[in-house]
Amino acid sequence: MLTITQALVDQIVAHARKDHPDEACGVVAGPAGSDRPERFIPMLNAAMSPTFYEFDSGDLLKLYREMDDRDEEPVVIYHSHTATEAYPSRTDISYANEPGAHYVLVSTADTDALGDFQFRSFRIVEGEVTEEEVRIVEAH
């Protein structure tokens, strides 16, 4: 289960809406070993595409060095889908290389008539996708 604050959910959704119609992407870092997302880090979609996202390799290297210096790890890796439901694509699955991370997808397309976005979390380990419950809290 992903436990995340309402403030972080709001930041992720706002980033997805701001970058629409392109996919948005980013990371929420937390203390190493804690499974607690704390620090919101919006990233640039280097692909600048409505159907694909790609972290800039230089930005990603800088981020991992910074997290290492702060004894953090990527707790949440998020991106948006702009025209499809919030479910990992084959490409998303092939690029998922953090087995301990929660992969959050936000869809800015109203694919289910339940509102203007979907917010879902998945574990992706060795190509296997498992949806998990999201528990939104006011604070940790």
Q: Which two tokens stand for residue 98?
A: 């953090």
Long-range contacts at 93-98 (CB < 8 A, ≥ 24 apart): 93/124, 93/127, 93/129, 94/127, 96/124, 98/74
Q: Mean pLDDT over all residues of the chain? A: 94
How many Cβ atoms are within 10 Å of 51's Cβ, its own excluded?
14
State the DSSP string of 11-67: HHHHHHHHHTTSPPEEEEEEETTS----EEEEE-BTT--SS---B-HHHHHHHHHHH
- pLDDT exceeds cutoff 90 at 69: yes
What percent of the chain is modeled with pLDDT above 70?
Answer: 95
pLDDT of 36 reads 97
**Other residues' Cβ atoms within 10 Å of the Cβ of residue 11:** 17
Report the pLDDT averaged over residues 21-38: 97
Least confident range from 7-11, 117-121, 126-130: namely: 117-121
Quick check: 98 pLDDT over 70?
yes
- Can you tell me whether residue 73 is helix, strand or coil? strand
pLDDT in the model for residue 117:
78
Q: What is Dmax (Cα atoms) for the chain?
A: 43
Phi/psi of residue 87, nearest 5 degrees? -145, 140
Whether this model's pTM surpasses 0.85: yes
pLDDT of residue 109: 80
Across residues 31-37, what is the average pLDDT?
97
* pLDDT value at 88 more than 70: yes
Q: Which residue type occupies 9?
A: V
Which single residue is written with the structure tokens 């087995």? 99
